Structure 1
Amino acid sequence: MKQTDRLVDALRLADDLAVQAASNGGVRNLRILRSAISSNDQIVAIAAIHALAKMGGEEVDLVLSELLSSEHGFVREHAAWAHRSRVPRSESIGRLIGLVASGGFVAMLSQRTLEAWSSAAPDLVAIGLESALLGVSDPGSRYRLVETLGLVHHPVATAPLMRTAQDENEDVSARVAAVAALGQRPEEPKIVELLTHIVDAGEKLAEIARLSLVDLDAHKTPELDHAILQHGTGLTVAQLFLHADIDPLLSHSGSGDNGGIATLLVRLGDALVAGIHPGSNDEHSEEPHFLPVDRVLTLSRGDALEASQSVAALGQSRHGHIYGRIPLLQDAKPSSANAWTMLVAARRGISRILRAAEGVQAIHLRMADVGSLAAFDVARALDIPVVFTVAPDPHAVIDSMDRAGTLNRKNFGDVDEVEHFWFRARLVQRLATNSAHSVFFPRPNLRHDIIDLVGIDIAKEPRRHTIVPEGIDLGVIDRAVLEAQSLASGRPGTAALLELRDLLSELPEERRGLPLLTSVGRFHRVKGMATIVEAWAGSDLRHRTNLLLIGGNLQHPSADEREQLTRIDAVVSPADRITEGLVLPGHRPNDTVARWVAATRTGLPGFSAPNGVYVCGSLKEEFGIALLEAMAAGLPVVGPNNGGPATYVEQGRTGFLTTTWNTTLLRDAIDSALRCAVAEGAQERAAYARSVVQERFTIEAMAHTLNQVYSDVHHDDIELRRELISSP
């Protein structure tokens, strides 16, 4: 591990180190690992913590317990995680409870360890939590401690939970945690009576109590056999992105974490239930085991009232694309990087929706985030097969930052404390290993990259893996282009295009004859919006183009959005944005965005010139929905030279790929794209770009491939159950 040149190699070697530690204990090896933990090589230090947890002996327990009080945050986090594989110890329980109270990612890790330990030592955990509550007044800390108490599935925790739920002097957040936890306990008349009373009182806790009554009712019902089709002849498939407010109109697109994944899930869910597949004359494919999709459940966050409405709607809806809401029980809407403390609430909300659906044949997970972790736990408990889209994330980001010099051995742990690289990488491995089927994005060297970055060889079990390109709704793009062309020809414009014209009218008159550089996406470091501004502002591009960045919640920015805006403001003062040609409108609905991207190509007479360029400044794109949409609109595109874009962006013809974190190289690629946009044959290149999308990357084609995957997974699940029943 110390000798590897790349951080991703060191990350993978940590597994070998843990295996060696498990089979080679002893005082000498204990000393070696302790020394590694205290070294300034932070990635080796983390590996040593997890290797130490594989060794036996009381002395190992003492060392791990001491690490829970380390001055280094990343050491405390990984020690809390590593404790999960150890036996309960009273001194460690106290320290873990303190970490739960402190909040953040370490609170989630500590909570999971205490939950695992509560089976063997319920009294120790429950008494420790009750004692901690006596000395803690912070509402957030009390919420987490009560929530953790609710994970002790033993009668010893019932009485304190009921007291907290009824205590009107208690902070409402702690009461919310207690009421939610009561819905997870074996039904008792006194619990039902209390929850019913809270519902009847109609106070703030009423909706939470209503959900808990739903949970109690679900838990007393015999488990459903999710392999059996409950309604009609088709499948029910669930898909999930917890960190977005997903609605059919995509009205929150580009705000917070409402990025391309939210757009994809809406379009894909619609296409799956529509059953219109390329090359088939009817809704049924002739491929083996094919079953149409009757229902798609798209799950995202919401409040308790929306969650109740979701459950009620599921009881009445046997067909179509249905949106389910997961209440996170806290008012904040954190970014995906900061939502890990909401794991317990997410797990309960996902379980509630899947139970209410009365028969889900597969759940498709796509991200290494808290939503996927929660959904995987639920799917395992309900025996629902998981389909997982495997991407080298965070592996590709680690590798990019390593090559850029911003991530190294000396700061890996400190960065990991913010980005949770180690946990997310392990989550990807766990989901990929335990899923019924894995989906991969196309990459130029897919097998090599997945082995190199993730350590999975897809050639070993080809039947368990499918390569699925993402797709876009070409009809939306074509309509947008027609509307933009119409306005460019002098005909009346639609509301979306008139809104763009109003924005551009604020530019100085001398800048209204310049083309647009346009980018769409979340304002997040990985998406590189600030890097685009830095590349544009530091060259003559600033004088040749105007820059339109669509995305972000500018009125109430998240921490990630603030970081990007701060970097942008350091280059172009907010007061000078319009004067300098930088247009930041914030996020817009997806259909509006499509029209603005189309107008980047056609221009708006008197406000912007035609022949603009689309720029993606992401550190990496696993595939790139926004890039595909821009190509379909006929724009030359600029994007990252790693990941999915290299499978469809043809250098010099449909776009230019580059090292996007390097502002000099990004600037050169943008310059080349601008020249390409006005060069001879530009119209032919635009038509060719659209044809590439039409032939290979439509949402209908993606739906067809995934429908077959879901059908095969369901067929294999049925066969496995039959084997288990027939085996002696």
Structure 2
Amino acid sequence: MNKFIEFRNRVYDKESNFSYPLQFLDEYINHSKAINSDETKVIEQIRMIKQLELEKKLGEQEINGWISFLGEHPTTDRFIVDAILKLSNDEMKQIVEGKIKDLLATQQYDSQKLYHVIDLCIECGMDLLSDDDILLMLEKYKQDLEIISILLDYMDRFNRQGVKDSIYQLLAFDYPGGIKIQGINVLRSLYPTETIDQSFVENHIRTENNKVFVDSYLDFLETDLTFDKQGVSILQSMFYGDFEDSGKGNNGGLAVLLKSLGEEVSKDSRIAHVFTITITQESNKPFISFHGDKHVFIRLPIYLDQSRSDKFIKRELFIKRQIANFLKRSNIKPDVFHIRFLDNASKAVAHLSKELNSKLVFTLTPDPHRTMFDGSGHIKELGFNELIEKLNKIKIGDELIRTSDGIVGIGNGDVKTELAVYFPQFQETDVDGKIKMIGEGIQASQSIDGEDIATYSTQLMEWSETNKAFFEKPIILNVGRLAVLKGQMELLQAWSNSKLSETHNLLIIGGDLERPSQEEAMVMDFFKDFLQKHPEFKGRFMHQGAMSNLDIRALERKIIQRDFDYPHIYLCSSAKEEFGIAILEAMSIGFLTLGPVKGGVKSYMKNGENGFLIDTSNWETIAKETEKHLYESKIDQEALKEIQAAGQKTVAENFSIQNISKEFVSFYLSLKGEKENEV
């Protein structure tokens, strides 16, 4: 029996859901090797917070203890602030205000504690800082960008007009674009536009590198941009990457899906607009882009500390307020919010949806649940901070199941059965009634013939011509962001240590070559080291950086035009894949597709019928199972071609984005009360 799943089912009920992380910690500690004194303090704080939440009571002693503990750990900071906001009444708010006043007066705080104290003040409407306090903090913490950001937010919230010169001084520093744009926002909010020093903006804000974003953002501020509302408005959040950067950093197939889905959903006459929001650190793309007449893509310039393993947890309430500010400025009130991750940014959007009395849709996946146990089903021995982060995400998932108006599962009934294994809430009638299983989809009808390829990317054509000899053999293709969980390093080893390298060349596409993340750089270094150690594979293995989705599909069609004794293969090497947009795209073009048996691929790929499901746990299993399917004598070339054709048929009949979008529209409208489409 899987110990993690067994534990989930054993402890779960509606009441214990509030204290679930603590119960798991207690269980984990009983089997763990060592917990040090600082970690024990964190656990004790979680125990206290969860118990008080369960009892729904809060007293002066607890408030005093919580505020004194703020700053000790990112997760307990989040739990403490959330509990104070959830449990405080008017009487308790006065006590909280008094404790914060005492703390500020004695200056017994570090930057972590101060951040959350100011965050609480903004959220509760407590204006407790004098102008002198603000000026002193700006000077003391001018290198702490999160403090600078939250102080700018405070000045904006409480209309502090006496700090104009200090804002200008701040913005003269070499701060990231997100901080500078926030500063411009504050100036524009507090003072008449004509009093803003435009020469300062030119000299200290707008540069050659960021002028595309800054110009478009200033145009937004200066224009009364509104969106006509005739129908239902949908807001979907992404937060990982950009439509134009698929395959770079954490930006995977979701961007491809949301771009296509947003365009198709917005074509329905009953839909007013689809707004897709992300958080950007980029400066070479506009603030707002239109994809179709009614699909609007918004790049919110919110500063996040990229060095943090969980960059959203501290900034949750700030993210919520910034999205709310944009919606208010643009006179947008979404009818439906749709979130897709178990993280604090998605939680921020969920809370905003409830504040605006909008409907909330939540795409549910068992992540990080699947990573909590090893291959034999035993609970993994994780580092303390990694464990706490994962438990926070599991807790968020449980909360969102409870508060959402509709839940989307990716795939069919088989996937729903798997979800029920990880989420015992599915046993409850009210939860089960929220769920709609919908697959993901692609632009299956998108036609790119040989003559059209050159119109998409001269760079693609030059690259493919330069490496013409590489394509004189059947290709094993893998597309996506570079990450350990995506298995590209395992795939390279599987290919090089098997017969696959004799019959096929290997092409891996993905990663940001110019500004790689730490994980991307690690994977790319592995590729380089491999070729240095194995020069015999030069010219037969190739890694290419991330391409646009159109270029990838053009390249796939170019590859598939060449016929060989063995088929061209698309091999998804991910340890698990929730669905697999890149798999569907390759399948639709005619590749023989192989995907991981773990995850949602099995909802549409039937082993030996329209593709092959393989164990992607390690390179040995990838090599062994791929060899079995490709070289086994009973599966001849004609049989493989039939499997490839069946894959194309599967996508055409079931996963066109046009058909998928109709299911989403029906689901969204049902939440707004269309009787013929009730959930």
- TM-score between the two structures when normalised by the length of structure 1: 0.73
Q: Distance in 2 between matches of 1:150 and 1:96?
A: 16
Counterpart among 553, 556, 561 of residue 597 in structure 1: 556
Q: CA RMSD in A?
A: 4.5
Contact 1:649–1:656 (8 Å) recurs in 2: yes
CA distance in 2, matches of 1:616, 1:299: 28
Q: Is the 8 A contact 1:256 1:523 kept in 2?
A: yes
698 and 579 in structure 1: CA distance in 2 versus 1, 3 angstrom threshold: same
| Alignment partner, residue 199 of structure 2 | none
1:501 to 460, 464, 482: 464
CA distance in 1 between partners of 2:40 and 2:463 (Å): 49
Match of 2:420 in 1: 451
Given the alignment of the two structures, is residue 687 of structure 1 paired with residue 678 of structure 2, yes or no? no
Secondary structure in 1 matching 2:426: coil
Counting matched residue pairs gives: 620
Quote the residue 1:358 is aligned against.
332
2:445 aligned with 1:475: yes
In structure 1, what residue type is equivalent to 2:68? Answer: G
Stretch moving more, 536-545 or 613-622: 536-545
Match of 1:537 in 2: 496
1:322 to partner: Cα distance: 1.0
Query: CA offset at residue 596 of structure 1?
Result: 2.6
1:222 is matched with: none
Amino acid at match of 2:97: P
> Which moved further from structure 2: 173-182 or 695-704?
173-182
Helix, strand or coil: the match of 1:341?
Answer: coil
CA distance in 1, matches of 2:31, 2:356: 44
Deviations 1:378-415 (A, max 9, x none): 112222110111222222343xx42267x635437564
Establish whether residue 423 from structure 1 lines up as the match of residue 392 from structure 2: yes
Shift of residue 615, structure 1, vs aligned partner: 0.8
Q: Offset at 1:447?
A: 4.1
SS state of the match for residue 548, structure 1? strand
- Given that 2:71 and 2:110 are in contact with CA atoms closer than 8 Å, whether structure 1 keeps it comes out as no
Q: Aligned pair in 2 of structure 1 residues 241, 20: CA closer, same or farther (>3 Å)?
A: closer
1:612 equivalent in structure 2: 568
> What are the Cα deviations for residues 152-200 of structure 1, in whole angstroms up to 9, with x where unaligned?
6312245566335764984372333201223334xx5xx1454698479
The question of 1:254 aligning with 2:219 is answered: no
Structure-2 residue corresponding to 1:328: 302
Look up the match of 1:433.
Answer: 402
Which of 79-88 and 461-470 deviates more? Answer: 79-88
1:155 counterpart SS class:
coil
SS in structure 2 at match of 1:267: helix
Match of 1:713 in 2: 671
Contact map agreement 2:100 2:117 (CA 8 A) in 1: no
Q: Is the 8 A contact 1:307 1:327 kept in 2?
A: no
Offset from partner CA, 1:427-453 (integer Å, 9 cap, x none): 122112211111112245244322211
Q: Secondary structure at the match of 1:587?
A: coil
Aligned to 1:657: 613
Q: Give the whole-Å Cα distance in 2 for the aligned partners of 1:710 and 1:702.
A: 13
State the distance in 2 between where 1:617 and 1:340 align: 30
C-alpha distance in 1 between matches for 2:41 and 2:253: 32
Q: Give how far 1:634 is off.
A: 0.5
**Residue 349 (structure 1) aligned with residue 322 (structure 2):** yes
Mean CA deviation greater in 126-135 or 680-689: 126-135
Task: Please state how far the C-alpha of 1:622 moved relative to its aligned partner.
Answer: 1.9
1:78 Cα deviation from its structure 2 partner: 4.7
Work out whether residues 239 and 363 of structure 1, in 8 Å CA contact, stay in contact via their aligned partners in 2: yes
1:468-501 residue CA offsets vs partner (Å, 9 max, x unmatched):
111101233x31xx229x98xxx99963542442
Equivalents in 1 of 2:394, 2:141: separation in Å? 43
Secondary structure at the residue paired with 2:31?
coil
Q: Deviations over 1:313-334 (max 9, x none)?
A: 99xx99611112223224x546
In the alignment, is the contact (CA less than 8 A) between 1:108 and 1:340 conserved in 2?
Answer: yes
Are 1:550 and 2:550 an aligned pair?
no
Is contact 1:603-1:611 (8 Å) kept?
no
Q: In 2 relative to 1, CA 558–678 (structure 1 residues): closer, same or farther, beyond 3 Å?
A: farther
3-state DSSP of counterpart to 1:456: helix
Distance in 2 separating the partners of 1:20 and 1:416: 18
Which residue of structure 1 lines up, in the alignment, with residue 194 of structure 2? none
1:498 is aligned with what amino acid? M
Q: Which residue, 358, 362, 379 being the options, matches 1:408?
A: 379
Cα offsets for 1:562-581 (capped at 9, x unmatched): 45446556655488596173
* Preserved CA contact (<8 Å) 2:565 2:637: no
Aligned to 2:98: 123
TM superposition shift of 1:549 = 1.4
Amino acid at match of 1:402: D
Q: What is the CA distance between 1:714 and its match in structure 2?
A: 1.6
Are 2:626 and 1:670 equivalent residues in the alignment? yes
The answer to whether the 8 A contact 2:135-2:163 is kept is no
Pair 105,304 (structure 1): closer, same or farther in 2 beyond 3 Å: farther
Aligned match of 1:7 in 4, 7, 11? 4
Task: Please list the CA deviations of residues 188-225 of structure 1 after superposition, one character each: whole Å capped at 9, or x if unmatched.
Answer: 5xx145469847997466632443477789xxxxxxxx
Instruction: Determine if the alignment matches structure 1 residue 237 to structure 2 residue 205.
Output: no
Secondary structure at the aligned position of 2:7 is classed as: helix
Counterpart CA distance in 1 for 2:128 and 2:134 is 11
Indicate the SS of the match to 1:547. strand
Query: 1:183 and 2:146 equivalent?
Result: no
Structure 1's 151 and 475: CA in aligned 2 closer, same or farther, altered over 3 A? same
State the partner residue of 2:656.
Answer: 698
Which secondary structure does the structure 1 equivalent of 2:295 belong to? strand
Shift of 1:269: 0.8
Native 8 Å contact 2:611 2:647 kept in 1:
no
In the alignment, the residues of structure 1 paired with residue 376 and residue 483 of structure 2 have an alpha-carbon distance, to the nearest angstrom, of 18
Q: Residue 542 and residue 130 in structure 1: after superposition, are their counterparts in 2 closer, same or farther (change >3 A)?
A: farther
- The 2-side partners of 1:541 and 1:213 are apart by 61
Conserved 8 A contact 1:514-1:609: no
Equivalents in 2 of 1:624, 1:572: separation in Å? 29
In 2, Cα distance between equivalents of 1:633 and 1:147: 51
Residues 160/366 of structure 1: CA separation in 2 closer, same or farther (3 Å cut)? farther
Percent identical pairs in the alignment equals: 18
What CA deviation, in whole Å up to 9, does each residue of 1:456-476 have, x standing for no partner? 327835653222111101233
1:697: how far off? 0.4
- 1:40 aligns to 2:37 (yes or no): no
Q: Is the 8 A contact 1:164 1:175 kept in 2?
A: no
Give the partner amino acid of 1:616.
C
* Residues 408/231 of structure 1: CA separation in 2 closer, same or farther (3 Å cut): same
**679-688 vs 425-434, which moves further:** 679-688
- Partner SS, residue 123 of structure 1: helix
Q: Is contact 2:572-2:596 (8 Å) kept?
A: yes
* Runs (5+) with no aligned partner, structure 2: 174-178, 192-225
Match of 1:302 in 2: 280
8 Å contact from structure 1 (residues 483, 494) kept in 2: no
1:583 Cα deviation after fit? 1.5
CA distance 1:713–1:543, shift in 2 (3 Å): same
Other-structure match for 1:340: 313
